Structure 1
Amino acid sequence: MLDIGYSLSRRFPDPPQTDYRSADVRALRHDLFCGDVYLADTETDRELSTARGTVPVLDFAWALCDIAERLDRDPLGSRASKPQYAELDFVESADSLHFARRFGWVDVTADWLPADEPPLTVNHGELRREARDFLHDLIADLTDIHEGLGDNPVVWDLQARFPRV
């Protein structure tokens, strides 16, 4: 089973003067809500995680949902034998997560892990569901912390674009 999580950084807090109600896409994706993220396979007890405290966690959730959709573009879906690839670049560093889907399974690897480390393998449907759940849970947490964020049209659009499945 896939578990996706985050922690917000205390070293890089959001600017206190931020108006979350009117924050634009760039601010929401790249300038606010820094922390660390992880993807974990709870059955094998394996994890891919960051430990810098500088990852924009809303951007990570947003990009992960985009990637789950991008990996499903082949009309044959889970019957497609041709691998489909996607990459999630971390904007604050040179690191990346790499996704390769073949049939209904996605292999996830990270630049910062040794080359001989086996990939984290997850079911594509589970990746899509967990990514969307993570996005909605993250937005709920952030709107509890930051007044006005729940009224931001960008956040509304994001939630409508990736509804829970």
Structure 2
Amino acid sequence: MLDIGYSLSRRFPDPPQTDYRRADTRSLRHDLFCGDVYLADTKADRELSTAWGWVPVLDFAWALCDIVERIDRDPRGNRASVPQYAELDFTESSDVMIFERRFGWVEVEADWMPGDEPPLTFSHRDLRRESRDFLQDLLADLFDLHEGLADNPVIWDLQSRFPRM
């Protein structure tokens, strides 16, 4: 079972003068909504998480949805034996999460994991569904916290690109 979650940082609050209705893509992806994120395999009781406090949470959700689609470009889908790779890099450091899909399974690891720890493994279908649900749930939470964000055209586009499944 896959669980994706986040927490917003109190150490890195959004600037109080932010007009969320007019915030551009760069601001939404890199300057706002900082905190920490995690991917957890609840069945195996294992987690891959950040503990830095500055990860742009919306950018993480957005990039995760992009990556899930990128590693699904082989027309053979679940029958594809050739590995497909993608990396999610964190803008303020050299740390990366690595995604490798083979057949219908995706292995997720990070360069900050101990070397002897195996990657987390999820079905591609579950990762797609949960990443989109995570994005939509995160947006709903952010709409409650930030007036005008739901009226931002960049957010409208994002919601339409990655609807719930």
Place the TM-score, normalised by the shorter chain, in its bin.
Answer: over 0.9
Give the structure 1 partner of residue 74 of structure 2.
74
RMSD: 0.4
Q: Aligned pair count?
A: 165
CA distance in 2, matches of 1:65, 1:31: 19
CA distance in 2, matches of 1:137, 1:109: 24
Give the structure 1 partner of residue 147 of structure 2.
147
Shift of residue 40, structure 1, vs aligned partner: 0.1
CA distance in 2, matches of 1:135, 1:93: 23
Give the structure 2 partner of residue 34 of structure 1.
34
Counterpart amino acid of residue 43 in structure 1: K
CA deviation profile, 1:115-156 (whole Å, cap 9, x unmatched): 111000000000000000000000000010000000000000
**Structure 1 residue ranges (4+ consecutive) displaced by more than 3 angstroms after TM superposition:** none
Shift of residue 36, structure 1, vs aligned partner: 0.1
CA distance in 2, matches of 1:78, 1:162: 21
Secondary structure, aligned partner of 1:99: strand
CA distance in 2, matches of 1:94, 1:141: 29
Q: Which residues of structure 1 form unaligned runs of 5+?
A: none
CA distance in 1, matches of 2:94, 2:58: 18
CA deviation profile, 1:26-50 (whole Å, cap 9, x unmatched): 0000000000000000100000000
CA distance in 2, matches of 1:135, 1:63: 10
Describe how 1:10-159 pairs up with structure 2 within 5 A. 10-159=10-159
Counterpart amino acid of residue 21 in structure 1: R
Secondary structure, aligned partner of 1:63: helix
Q: Which residues of structure 2 form unaligned runs of 5+?
A: none
Counterpart amino acid of residue 15 in structure 2: P
Counterpart amino acid of residue 15 in structure 1: P
Secondary structure, aligned partner of 1:47: strand
% identity of equivalent residues: 79
- TM-score, normalization by structure 2: 0.99
Secondary structure, aligned partner of 1:86: strand
Secondary structure, aligned partner of 2:116: coil
CA distance in 2, matches of 1:113, 1:41: 15
CA distance in 2, matches of 1:147, 1:94: 33
CA distance in 2, matches of 1:48, 1:160: 28
- TM-score, normalization by structure 1: 0.99
Shift of residue 92, structure 1, vs aligned partner: 1.4
Shift of residue 93, structure 1, vs aligned partner: 1.2
